[in-house]
Structure 1
Amino acid sequence: MARKVKFSDAKREKFSRIDQRRKRDTRNMRQYFLIVCEGAETEPNYFEGLKDDLPKGTLTTHQIEVQGTGRNTQSLLDEAMRLRAWMQKYSTRKVDRLWIVFDKDSFTAQDFNGAIQRCHNEGIGCAWSNEAFELWYLLHFDYFENGMGRDVYKKMIEDRLKSSLGNSFRYRKNSPNMYAILRKFGSLEVAIRNAKRLAKKYEGDRDYSSQNPCTMVFALIEELINLDS
């Protein structure tokens, strides 16, 4: 049986406070974005960094909640839907937009493709990466079309950042600083452009498991940075 996300008393109190504020002033009700990630730290850390960098006023009109689960593919989607239902029931507010973030890694083509298709059927945003989330990091520097495994990403990230951070720099998967590092020494605009170019290469292909390298993280990023403040 899948392990359910557990909520601490502090988290429950947070949702309760949010709901009370909403009830006191409906004129200022914010849109609610829920981002549920496969990784417990890597992806949530990145998106928390992005939240802090959004245009002034965005977080006044939009609440963006990021959850890391340690799940993957189909089980991640199941958990995201349970989490959305739980939040809507507990806080009595609608989740306006649900996104999930996960990698291909070594999961079967059936699981990977099936999860993506389910997201499309359910109207859920799906920021998948093939083969790993770190592909999104590399696209801040270069465009490339050669498929590679997760182990190669680490060295490539280090090679591109050592000129700025020194030869002693080592990429640490769960670093809380990767968004800030990439924003300073790479280019978010370049990453979006490179990711779109890769996606266009596979346009019309529904075998997502064979699209290596490719990532749809750019779609979630664009949606967040273009929110009206």
Structure 2
Amino acid sequence: MARKIKIPNEHLKRFAREERKRKKDFRTKRQFYLIVCEGEKTEPNYFKGLKEDLPRGVLTYYQIDVEGTGRNTQSLVDEALRLKFAYEKENSRPIDRLWVVFDRDSFSANDFNSAIQRCRDSNPEIGCAWSNEAFELWYLLHFHFYNNGIGRADYQELIEGNLRPHLGEYYRYEKNSEEMYSLLKTYGNQEDAIRNAKRLTANFEGRQDYANNNPSTMVWKLVEELKALK
């Protein structure tokens, strides 16, 4: 029968202290992202899909929370700051990166422009993944470069036109679908979407009349940042 080795109590206590310190150090180094979306389903479903698709190990070192609010423009920024404060109070640690995601839609140019400028002027700056006119522009850029103004009513038809060759003529785009990230990954090209969105951004470089930047989307900035996490 093997002889048991007795470890002195002072060694056990030291090991326990070191383990607690290791866990504390890990929690301190872990980075926290909070992504607050205008839509309650469409945008959160996409970013949750992206989150789960990040390389193994990333979510060990980064906590990424995605919230859908039903708020827009200025009220969305207010809600994002409220959620940030509530989270930090509950967890006794700061949010390292705060992002908001919203669309131009039919909101006034002043509200839309002011919300974006408010994010830029915040300290620290709030990441702002805005789209003009709608988040679905980001989907379309996975297939083609669109350089003409797109009305909100046209997005569904264009998305269906790009996916029906793969999914059949009866495919219908569902705005709150939980499958869009997977469909875009399978049949579209995310790197093309980033390149196409950057080209659109370059068209309006230096301009701050964001409500007139159609088509345009800054979703690529958030996607690129998340994909760069190691």
Q: Please, what TM-score do these two structures have when normalized by structure 2? A: 0.88
In the TM superposition, what is the alpha-carbon distance from 1:144 to its structure 2 partner?
Answer: 1.4
Q: What aligned pairs does 1:193-204 form with structure 2 within 5 A after superposition?
A: 193-204=195-206
Q: CA RMSD in A?
A: 1.2
In the TM superposition, what is the alpha-carbon distance from 1:23 to its structure 2 partner?
Answer: 8.8
What is residue 11 of structure 1 aligned with on the other side? none
- Cα distance in 1 for partners of 2:189, 2:50 equals 13
Within the candidate set 162, 176, 182, 2:164 is matched to 162
Give, as a single letter, the amino acid of the residue that structure 2 aligns with 1:27: D
- Cα distance in 2 for partners of 1:206, 1:23 equals 48
- Cα distance in 2 for partners of 1:220, 1:176 equals 19
Give, as a single letter, the amino acid of the residue that structure 2 aligns with 1:26: K
- Cα distance in 2 for partners of 1:117, 1:23 equals 42
Matched pairs, number: 207
Q: What aligned pairs does 1:17-28 form with structure 2 within 5 A after superposition?
A: 25-28=23-26
4+ runs of 1 displaced by more than 4 Å? none
Distance 1:68 1:24, change over 3 A: farther
In the TM superposition, what is the alpha-carbon distance from 1:90 to its structure 2 partner?
Answer: 1.1
In the TM superposition, what is the alpha-carbon distance from 1:56 to its structure 2 partner?
Answer: 1.1
What is residue 58 of structure 1 aligned with on the other side? 58
Are 1:182 and 2:184 matched, yes or no? yes
In the TM superposition, what is the alpha-carbon distance from 1:93 to its structure 2 partner?
Answer: 1.5
In the TM superposition, what is the alpha-carbon distance from 1:131 to its structure 2 partner?
Answer: 0.1
What is residue 14 of structure 2 aligned with on the other side? none
Q: Specify the SS of the correspondent of 1:129.
A: strand
In the TM superposition, what is the alpha-carbon distance from 1:27 to its structure 2 partner?
Answer: 2.4
Distance 1:23 1:127, change over 3 A: farther
Percent identity between matched residues is: 60
- Cα distance in 1 for partners of 2:111, 2:92 equals 33
- Cα distance in 1 for partners of 2:98, 2:21 equals 22
What is residue 46 of structure 1 aligned with on the other side? 46
- Cα distance in 2 for partners of 1:165, 1:119 equals 39
Give, as a single letter, the amino acid of the residue that structure 1 aligns with 2:154: V
In the TM superposition, what is the alpha-carbon distance from 1:24 to its structure 2 partner?
Answer: 7.9
What is residue 205 of structure 1 aligned with on the other side? 207
Structure 1 unmatched ranges of 5 or more: 1-21
Give, as a single letter, the amino acid of the residue that structure 2 aligns with 1:93: R
Structure 2 unmatched ranges of 5 or more: 1-19
Q: Please, what TM-score do these two structures have when normalized by structure 1? A: 0.89
- Cα distance in 2 for partners of 1:45, 1:186 equals 17
- Cα distance in 2 for partners of 1:179, 1:78 equals 28
Are 1:133 and 2:131 matched, yes or no? no
What is residue 121 of structure 2 aligned with on the other side? 121
Within the candidate set 136, 145, 148, 1:146 is matched to 148
Q: Which of the pair has more CA radius of gyration?
A: 2
